Amino acid sequence: MFAVEAPRPTTKRLSGRPGTTVEGSTVNRRRIAIGTAVLVVVLVGAWTTSPERALSALVWLADRPVAFGAVLLAVAVVRPFLAWPTTPLAIAAGYGYGLWGVPIGVGLLTLTAVPPYLIAVRTVPDGRVSAAGARLVDAGGGVRTVTASRLLPAPSDVITVACGAARVPPRPFLLGTAAGELPWVIAGVLIGVSAESLLADGLVLDWRFVAGLALLGALLLAGPVYRVYRGDTAPAGTTEA
């Protein structure tokens, strides 16, 4: 009797680029589909709703701290999917809780950054942009890079997605977000404390304050950017720093 050798399992490859598997192509298509769906939800939500409507509901809850906090928490969770800015959260925290709104605001702004961060980590594929971000994080350290980025007057969700694409670990991401958002929260809380109504006009940050934070953020990033330019990322250690 002759022994019949069992056929060896093979991995089906796509015709075209060598080394491209069906499984890898399916994962990429799935990521693109998820990213597209999230983008559609964000655009529809941003078009049909506004922060002003949410804040108008909060005004009636100012004398009920528990209900006020519950609504703030809910707004923080859904905010990224509606493409709302983060500053109104800090202003509302100051309006409802006074100076106690500072730690509350930091917690809310850190919490509201988690969903887009997780989505970016899971959906943004590795590429040149993510590799460049990872080198910058290696050069400056995770906490420092995230903190400095948060000080820049850029949309919060853009910074968050960049951190996720650069594969910043969760711990330095959360610490850096809390540290970098702290000045913005303090400014927002002070505006909220002094505001007679959340719907009043003029609830904006002074441009000199914004410029000062931008300068500080740029100075914190200058060293890491220079080290990346020179191709030397060793001095800052790992991304956990």
Residue extents of the structural domains in the chain: 27-230
What pLDDT digit, counting tens, does each position of 208-235 carry? 999 999 999 999 999 999 888 887 665 4
Asked whether the beta carbons of 177 and 146 are under 8 A apart, the reply is yes
What pLDDT digit, counting tens, does each position of 37-74 carry? 655 555 555 555 666 666 666 777 878 889 899 989 99
Asked whether the beta carbons of 90 and 101 are under 8 A apart, the reply is yes
pTM, entire model: 0.74
Residue 50: alpha-carbon gap to chain centroid: 20
